[in-house]
Structure 1
Amino acid sequence: MSADISTGAPPRPAAAPVTVPKSRPRKGRWGVHIFLTAVSLAFLAPLLLAVYASLRPYEDTAQHGYFSWPHHLSFDYYRRAYTESGMGKYFANTLLIAVPAVLVTLFLASFVAFAVSRLKLRGGLVLLIFFTAGNLLPQQVIVTPLYVLFNKIPLPWWMSDSLMMYDSYWAVILVNIGFQLGFCVFVLASFMRTLPQEIMEAAIVDGAGVWTRFWHVTLPLCRPALAALGTLEFTWIYNDFLWALIFISNPDKLPITSSLNNLRGQFFTDYNLLAAGSILVALPTILVFLLLQRHFIAGLTLGSTKG
């Protein structure tokens, strides 16, 4: 090794590379992972059992039991469930109810949430409490008053072939909007309060009116919250069975949840066929969740971190 020419001192030895010890998972985290895995399997067990039963003939399960090894697997039950229940027609009926109800609910809720959280509205807190308290009203309490009311509200022929609010899609849509509006207002108002006030002040300085601040500034920032609410609302309204059963008498207008009744016999029920129908009914909600998964998770984790 040669000496340093400038100082005449011997060269310094090269520093040894620093090795960072690998962090080992703590023993407590193993218990958390085991617990979460067990809970996940407990929640998935009914779904997995339904999928397993839908692929087996009923004779196989009747002879060997539902938890036995399968002797024959096929997708025949899915074809039968779709054709025998008329599921295509009921899918269209459900979309006619769920899609407008979700869009109108989110649109109206965003208006109210913007007013009570971003505008200096007198009595805004009372209004927010009023909308939130609507979720505490049991649905069964107003079934009879709504039934009587809808039978007295006429509609033009192009809105309802029954010429009444009763036995029309409008009745189910309005009830779902009324019951879901309070929850959406509460969630959106809570999220809008977390938006930086400086953004609104900058928009006001630039001459933006109330509509511009709402439509072009606030709503784009609320996209994760709207996506999360849209996923939840579509799932809840899609799976609704009570209101359609009460306010629709024409069986051709019933939603998809009612089509499963067509797979139940009077004296005998093939539960494997019913399981296949249930899986088909659940597919649209799973598809919606997969499409909005990124926004849904972002909406659920809002406020968990800062910066």
Structure 2
Amino acid sequence: MFPRPIEQRGKVANATYRISLYIAVCLWLIPLAAVLMTSVRSIADINAGNYWGMPDELQFVENYTQVFTATPMARYLLNSLLICIPAVAGAVVLSTLAGFALAKYKFRANIWLFALFIGGNFVPFQILMIPVRDLTISLGLYDTHWALIFFHVAFQAGFCTLFMRNFMVGIPDALIEAARVEGVSEWRIFWYVVLPLVRPALAALSVLVFTFIWNDFFWALVLVQSDEVRPVTAGLNALQGQWLASWQYMSAGAVIAALPPVALFFTMQRHFIAGLTLGATKG
């Protein structure tokens, strides 16, 4: 019924798999290597057309220092943190509460409300550009951190609720019923019984949502326009001048911008893997 593990297949299948894996990894690493090499090149090297060769002169310290001294990169990074941290916290908190209600409370509109959360994930976000922009302008939130925070909380709520609800369904109802028999309030049941059991799922969800919001570029262009609010993804685009593009600074900025989500993943790696595999071996 299920495909056999690759170790149990023939020699031809094993060799093909291993060769294809190395080829795929190399193809995936080529753009990253190009960005890393460009981030340490000189502008003369780039203008000479040396895009793929070894740099004639390594300017690691100069380029990465100039990113912070000659551009508002530090402000862009701070803006991304000011947007991501409350947006992730809001989306995870609301989705955890909604997931608990949908998973453990039986009411007439339960399945329809759950379907509404699922259906929201299939709405192309591009068609929301004009309504969301007009709404932020009418509320006086345009070109503020709150515009991106509120939008990301609302837009990520559907996926997050689906994620948390499916994890909480696996919690035995007997645990909750036993707590209710002892007279424990619903809020204390949620806080002391449910949350400790879904801690790996919360860690996995937080890493995923943080990565989604940190890498957002579309809404950073639509809802903000000033450097005081612009996050790092839109800030990198702003580093491209009208007549000359400083590709070495843009590449160095891209490497710096990739560090926070990578660091977060490795910090939360144990909980992240546990959250993704939670319930995978349950009957």
State the TM-score, normalized to the length of structure 2.
0.89
Report the structure number with the largest CA radius of gyration: 1
| Mapping for residues 31-46 of structure 1, pairs under 5 Å | 31-46=16-31
Query: Structure 1: how far apart are the matches of 2:225 and 2:49?
Result: 41
Residue type at the aligned position of 2:275: G
1:117 to 103, 111, 116: 103
Aligned to 1:48: 33
Distance 1:207 1:26, change over 3 A: farther
Give the deviation of 1:30 after TM superposition.
Answer: 3.9
The one-character-per-residue Cα deviations of 1:255-307 (angstroms, maximum 9, x if unpaired) are 11122134212222132322111101111111111111111111222233238
Tell me if structure 1 keeps the 8 A contact 2:72–2:227.
no
The one-character-per-residue Cα deviations of 1:34-54 (angstroms, maximum 9, x if unpaired) are 322322222222112211221
1:252 to 220, 228, 233: 228
Tell me if structure 2 keeps the 8 A contact 1:61–1:68.
no
Identity of aligned residues (%): 39
| Mapping for residues 153-302 of structure 1, pairs under 5 Å | 153=139, 164-302=140-278
Give the deviation of 1:61 after TM superposition.
Answer: 4.3
Tell me if structure 1 keeps the 8 A contact 2:96–2:164.
yes
Tell me if structure 1 keeps the 8 A contact 2:99–2:164.
yes
More helix by share: 2
Query: Structure 2: how far apart are the matches of 1:124 and 1:295?
Result: 30
Query: Structure 1: how far apart are the matches of 2:126 and 2:49?
Result: 42
When structure 1 is superposed on structure 2, of 224-233 and 142-151 the one drifting more is 142-151
Confirm or deny that 1:66 pairs with 2:51.
Answer: yes
Query: Structure 2: how far apart are the matches of 1:274 and 1:306?
Result: 47
Tell me if structure 2 keeps the 8 A contact 1:58–1:270.
yes
Give the deviation of 1:92 after TM superposition.
Answer: 1.4
Give the deviation of 1:104 after TM superposition.
Answer: 0.6
The one-character-per-residue Cα deviations of 1:179-222 (angstroms, maximum 9, x if unpaired) are 10000000111111112233223322332221122111111111
Query: Structure 1: how far apart are the matches of 2:120 and 2:52?
Result: 45
Query: Structure 2: how far apart are the matches of 1:121 and 1:180?
Result: 24
When structure 1 is superposed on structure 2, of 132-141 and 226-235 the one drifting more is 132-141
Confirm or deny that 1:82 pairs with 2:43.
Answer: no
Moved over 3 A (4+): 23-26, 28-31, 61-64
Residue type at the aligned position of 1:141: I
Query: Structure 1: how far apart are the matches of 2:183 and 2:25?
Result: 52
When structure 1 is superposed on structure 2, of 177-186 and 254-263 the one drifting more is 254-263
| Mapping for residues 141-156 of structure 1, pairs under 5 Å | 141-153=127-139
Residue type at the aligned position of 2:231: P
Give the deviation of 1:107 after TM superposition.
Answer: 0.4
- Does the residue aligned with 1:79 lie in a helix, a strand or coil? helix
When structure 1 is superposed on structure 2, of 296-305 and 108-117 the one drifting more is 296-305
CA RMSD, Structure 1 to Structure 2 (Å): 2.1
Query: Structure 2: how far apart are the matches of 1:213 and 1:235?
Result: 30
Query: Structure 2: how far apart are the matches of 1:198 and 1:91?
Result: 46
State the TM-score, normalized to the length of structure 1.
0.82
1:131 to 117, 134, 145: 117
Give the deviation of 1:111 after TM superposition.
Answer: 0.7
The one-character-per-residue Cα deviations of 1:95-136 (angstroms, maximum 9, x if unpaired) are 111110100100000111000111123211111111111111
Distance 1:56 1:150, change over 3 A: closer
Tell me if structure 1 keeps the 8 A contact 2:148–2:223.
yes
- Does the residue aligned with 1:253 lie in a helix, a strand or coil? coil
